[in-house]
Chain A
Amino acid sequence: NAGVTQTPKFQVLKTGQSMTLQCAQDMNHNSMYWYRQDPGMGLRLIYYSASEGTTDKGEVPNGYNVSRLNKREFSLRLESAAPSQTSVYFCASSEGQGYMNTEAFFGQGTRLTVV
């Protein structure tokens, strides 16, 4: 059972470099999410996608872009990395609208350091 798979697990970038974090789920879920986790701040939603072809901003979207490539895949791109984007990034998926009671499944995270 793969669940939610994120790549890479670790990454170090220099300020100004770009990169894409990949996420794929095999549970046929409609909704997918990108969160960042910072000490003392819990998880904050960056972007989410309610269904294939749709994306919306979360709490902290600045400096990020996303692509819902198909139902399985939801990528997060940093166009010009900044030290403030040093964080642990989690992708998650869940059933879509109307399924309030279902849980979200999380990937194992990507630890990103921007120097």
Chain B
Amino acid sequence: GNSVTQMEGPVTLSEEAFLTINCTYTATGYPSLFWYVQYPGEGLQLLLKATKADDKGSNKGFEATYRKETTSFHLEKGSVQVSDSAVYFCALRRFSGGATNKLIFGTGTLLAVQP
């Protein structure tokens, strides 16, 4: 079946450090891939997305590239800030015939950035 695996957290970094959060997926066909972010006490919001192989999604200094050959969609940011502290979820969506195109989430990675 379809699934998403992302690195365990928490990830603790100092401000201005480089961030990578790994995400790999299992899916047949060509899913769309997403990163969502959840700030403390809030719901999830879309951070970036990519809809086909080799697409790069980017937003707020974060980027991720859809790598079909390695079935990966790793999240990166060159210089993190304290305000980036949140839980990050990798997700995929694959259209499955008559069913609605459900989002499938990874378990989430907590990022804590220290000043």
* Interface bracket on A: 20 to 34
Total contacting residues, chain B, CB less than 8 A: 24
Contact yes or no, A109 B43, CB < 8 A: yes
Contact yes or no, A103 B100, CB < 8 A: no
How far apart sit A98 and B96, CA to CA, in the bound complex (Å)?
A: 10
Residues in B with CB closer than 8 Å to A35 are: 105
Smallest Cβ-Cβ distance to A101: which chain B residue: B51
**Chain A 9-45 interface residues, beta-carbon cutoff 8 Å to B:** 31, 33, 35, 40-45
Residues in B with CB closer than 8 Å to A45 are: 102-104
Contact of B44 among A48, A98, A101, A106 (CB under 8 A): A106
Is A50 an interface residue, CB under 8 A from the partner?
Answer: yes
Residues of chain A having any CB pair with chain B under 8 Å: 4, 31, 33, 35, 40-45, 48-50, 56, 58, 90, 92, 94, 96-101, 103-104, 106-109
